[in-house]
Structure 1
Amino acid sequence: MTKAELGEKLFSDKNLSFNRSQSCATCHDPERGFIDARRNDASDGDRASPASLGDNGTSIGDRNAPTAAYMAFSKDFAKGTRERSPSQQTSGVGEYSGYLGGQFWDGRAKDLAAQAGGPPTNPDEMGMPDKASVVARIQENEGYITSFKALYGETIFDDSDAAYDAIADAIGEFESKNADVFYPFDSKYDQSLTGDYIYDPASPAALGKTLFFSSDFTCGACHLLRDNLKDRGEIFTSFEYHNIGVPENTDLRAVNGVAEDFVDLGLALNPAIPDSEKTENEGKFKVPTMRNVAVTAPYMHNGVFDTLEAVLAFYEHAKIRARQQNNPQLANTTLNPETNQAFRAAEVDRNIEHELLGGNDLNLTPERIKAFECFLMTLTDKRYESLLDAQKVTECGI
């Protein structure tokens, strides 16, 4: 058995939670794009909840469980610069300087292994009291004991911390070494790069593809990692951190018991951020991948939007909001299509990337929003295409 094979077993093992009811796969379901597709009291109708229910059956988190797919490409969390290629410098957007990579929305886990080590001892997630308790659960299984000793040494269980790190390491190996499971690169978009799929030139999806890569929009600044538009290795995220002015999810907060005056400061809550830099990083969250985005709702770090239509309309709202900085008289009449009301104010109104958001030169009309959504549907891995809305697939010409 390899470390990755051991990690696969651990990933789905509910015995690693206090009530033996929850595993990594519960909140990162391999059959649903590695998100938590369950419903709970915070769900909107029959939609998945914006935050996950814990092993205790009562705790509901305050952030949306991000997909684990394609996260093997997120480098270790660190501060640095990213020189955007010409194809990513749309509307004059230049070099990025700040924090990059890591795992979780705020990058507090430097890599996949560190991320895997977080949930088991989180009281609101898998609920184990400490690392030693998790290791004790491992030792209930003779097969695990044999495998851990073979892979990590005969004395691995002499030190609970070392054994716990080995558990996390094995899960990290599973996530990073299994391309067919976590990063197959076999969507229709990928197939189009090899000639195995051709976008219908008259389809909304083809228009959306053209718009996405156009210099009229700033999509590529944050959602392109590679510098070659024909690269099958494109992840559709830069792993940068930005504040785009996402509103508070008041519906979620009304259910999960989070204090009314709590403000999610995102990256500024990461303990690795020096005190001297916390203020300038308030409200920033890691840019998510757009791969499988059409089947991994809800959206944003707090799951505040249920549909891609709402997300795209929000970007039109954000563009106008950005331009109001220089023209306060400019009216912002963009409505949230989910509520038919104006978008609420940003939860963190500091550090909003107005220059970036205001750089979209074309308006996101209903036709263009539809086209963008259609293109994003073509970023769906082949195994998840059955989860796409069949009517939209037909309408999009894909």
Structure 2
Amino acid sequence: MKCFVFAGLFSVVTTTGAAAFDTKAALGEALFFDENLSLNRSQSCASCHDPDVGFADPRRAVDGAVSLGDDGESLGDRSAPTAAYARFSPTFHQREDGAFVGGQFWDGRAADLAKQAGGPPLNPIEMGMPDKAAVLARLQENPGYVAAFPALFGTDVLTDPDAAYDALAEAIAAFEATDTFAPFDSKYDRFLRGEVELTREEDLGRILFFSQQFTNCNQCHQLSKSAIDPAETLSNYEYHNIGTPVNVAARQENGVGSDHVDLGLLANPLVTDPKQKGKFKVPTLRNVAVTGPYMHNGVFADLRTVVLFYNKYNSKSAKRQINPETGQTWAAPEVATTLSVDLLTHGPALEDERIDALVAFMKTLTDQRYEHLLED
């Protein structure tokens, strides 16, 4: 026997070439990278969530905004979020105060990681498989899967397309729940452990980020009550409408049409309240500096632009009302009726030094394995 590695977990290969997966996570790792689970055998989970670039999509079309499907033509209307640290998003639910929290995808329509993993293979503009029976047929082509699925999920699992598909999703979710996706080893993490020091600019950005006086970044981008929690994921997983404009270029390419409105949270089948229209889940800021472009539709290319976009709500300066990427006034929100006005207008306008400091701090949230991408 010999061993091989996909992205960090070891699998055993027998002399017949079939892989023996002794845990659900090990099996899920193989499935995560398996292009045979798409219609044209050209796309895997890793295609849109590449471990080399922060589990985001390096192949994205329209200036990186949206992902290309397995058919080589279809384009989505939303940007593929990073899969890193996704396991920390709680199961989708509504709190006692009425706020919706958690789930996967930008609108939380997948309650948890397993539900999310089951989405792309059957999505016609993603991996494009026609049905669960077709996915089962692909699984049965692989001797390693034929051995592993019954061993891990029960003898009859590969006789029922529904059971096999649920097992596939559970295995992928088990892999996504490993530390491969959440190492907590960024410069900021190392700073909290006393292993490194932040630069003056980075530390100013840290202070501003967690300040209630000068910004309110942490009102949405902090999960723990403590700003120094070693397991902070930098999202509270709530839903807000921050006034993101339409990505016109993406709409022109993907054929969705200029009259289409992305309903955001209201597109979730469990949500019927029209007040949730245009709201999207607060993303983690882990690896944010290397996983652009930004917002749910990839409309902004640069991280500094994102900070300036927020700052426009508080600044009366004519200069701050110009999008530096277009040279034009900031475009209107796609949905203007449900803006989180109180959050967006909290705090004073920021001068360049503080804007740059916030960007510098967010760069420290990059996992160590991706720090070389900051230079690029």
Same fold flag (TM > 0.5): yes
CA distance in 2, matches of 1:98, 1:194: 34
| Aligned counterpart for 2:323 among listed residues 328, 336, 355 | 336
Q: For residue 263 of structure 1, what is the aligned residue in structure 2?
A: 261
Shift of 1:333: 4.8
| Aligned counterpart for 2:217 among listed residues 204, 219, 229 | 219
**Equivalent pair of 1:36/1:52 in contact (CA under 8 Å):** yes
What is the CA deviation profile of residues 145-202 of structure 1, one whole-angstrom value per residue up to 9, with x for unaligned ones?
A: 10001001111122110110000000001111x11x11110111111111101113xx
**Equivalent pair of 1:17/1:126 in contact (CA under 8 Å):** yes
Shift of 1:320: 5.0
- Report % sequence identity: 54
**Equivalent pair of 1:320/1:358 in contact (CA under 8 Å):** no
Shift of 1:362: 2.4
Q: For residue 117 of structure 2, what is the aligned residue in structure 1?
A: 116
Shift of 1:319: 3.4
Q: For residue 313 of structure 1, what is the aligned residue in structure 2?
A: 308
Task: Give the secondary structure class of the aligned counterpart of 2:108.
Answer: coil
Task: Give the secondary structure class of the aligned counterpart of 1:36.
Answer: coil
1:320-359 to 2 correspondences below 5 Å: 320=315, 333-359=320-346
What is the CA deviation profile of residues 74-111 of structure 1, one whole-angstrom value per residue up to 9, with x for unaligned ones?
A: 11100005xxxxxxxxxxxxxx7410000000000000
Superposition TM-score, scaled by structure 1 size: 0.87
CA distance in 2, matches of 1:170, 1:182: 15
The answer as to 2:178 corresponding to 1:183 is no
Task: Give the secondary structure class of the aligned counterpart of 2:257.
Answer: coil
**Pair 183,304 (structure 1): closer, same or farther in 2 beyond 3 Å:** same
**Equivalent pair of 2:60/2:66 in contact (CA under 8 Å):** no
Q: For residue 154 of structure 2, what is the aligned residue in structure 1?
A: 153
1:1-398 to 2 correspondences below 5 Å: 1-40=22-61, 42-43=62-63, 49-81=64-96, 97-176=98-177, 178-179=178-179, 181-200=180-199, 203-215=200-212, 216-273=214-271, 275=272, 277=273, 279-320=274-315, 333-359=320-346, 361-389=347-375
1:369 partner letter: I
Shift of 1:134: 0.6
Shift of 1:389: 2.3
CA distance in 1, matches of 2:285, 2:98: 22
| 290-299 vs 204-213, which moves further | 204-213
CA distance in 1, matches of 2:367, 2:162: 37
**Equivalent pair of 1:316/1:334 in contact (CA under 8 Å):** no
Task: Give the secondary structure class of the aligned counterpart of 2:226.
Answer: coil
CA RMSD, Structure 1 to Structure 2 (Å): 1.4
CA distance in 2, matches of 1:301, 1:285: 7
2:197 partner letter: I
CA distance in 2, matches of 1:317, 1:97: 29
Structure 2: state its 5+ residue gaps.
1-21
CA distance in 2, matches of 1:342, 1:260: 19
**Equivalent pair of 2:308/2:320 in contact (CA under 8 Å):** no
Shift of 1:294: 0.4
Task: Give the secondary structure class of the aligned counterpart of 2:289.
Answer: helix
CA distance in 2, matches of 1:318, 1:38: 33
CA distance in 2, matches of 1:209, 1:308: 16
Shift of 1:318: 3.0
Structure 1: state its 5+ residue gaps.
44-48, 82-95, 322-329, 391-398
What is the CA deviation profile of residues 266-302 of structure 1, one whole-angstrom value per residue up to 9, with x for unaligned ones?
A: 00000011x3x1x110000000000100000000000
